Structure 1
Amino acid sequence: MTAQALDTCELCGRSPLATTVHHLIPREKGGSLLPTALLCKACHRQIHALYTNSDLVVLGLTTLDSLRSDPQIASYLRWIMRQAPGSDRSCTNQSAYEANVNLLGSRMKQVLRGE
């Protein structure tokens, strides 16, 4: 097993913590060789919990600035930036937060579809 370097998340700015590579344009949408961002696992997971790869492209969420400007991600960022990197409390609260955001996101999609 290799040690993972500790970095700063390019989305939330927290550090030091382990980061993952996020393709700003999803690989399946032609982004294999295009710019990437180093995101903490929490931010990376939240982006993909909120949006499909198709949603990210259609909604234009393909830059760090556009991600930060998205209302759902902006709300998440306000919360996660107050959490200490790697704290147990952050992980516990994050799960509850993600569940609430997912529920609200699902309801919002239903409203937009007129259901």
Structure 2
Amino acid sequence: MKPSARRVEAAIAAVEALAAARRPSICPLCDRPIPPEAKSSRHHLTPRLKGGTHMGTVRLHQICHSAIHARFSETELAKRLADIESLKSDPEISAFIAWVRTKPPTFHAPTRMTRDRRDKAKSRSSNP
């Protein structure tokens, strides 16, 4: 019997939690340590909505993960930003990285969608 996706996700999360407790991992986006008390999450390199459910994930600081999704659509992520190097080379993310690297590893702040993305979303919803 094949395990459900939910069970696989739970098992992965449990293993990652044990590994994080032994030593802090490093956020591949900002290169800062991710201590156990820091907010963090897994980022699907190819968005799940674009076929990335069973593809690679990376553990990022929550603020780094939120910054990615505040700036880019699922389509953009799937088409041109499906690896860490592509993300790091994007001008918007590289500016964010330069800023966040000056913060302590446990730093977290709410992240809003960029004004450009908000405006695009508004125009799509008002034009049926």
Residues 1-115 of structure 1 correspond to what in structure 2 (within 5 A)? 4=17, 5=20, 6-17=24-35, 18=38, 19-58=40-79, 60-87=80-107, 91=108, 94-95=109-110, 98=111, 102-103=114-115, 105-106=116-117
Deviation for aligned residue 1:106 = 4.4
Contact in 1 for aligned 2:71/2:117 (Cα 8 Å): no
Q: Percent identity?
A: 34
Deviation for aligned residue 1:7 = 2.4
Contact in 1 for aligned 2:44/2:58 (Cα 8 Å): yes
Count of residue correspondences: 98
User: RMSD of aligned C-alpha atoms?
Assistant: 2.5
State the TM-score, normalizing by the size of structure 1. Answer: 0.71
Q: 1:112 maps to what in 2?
A: none
Where structure 2 has 5 or more consecutive residues not aligned to the other structure, the ranges are 1-13, 121-128
Highest CA radius of gyration, 1 or 2? 2
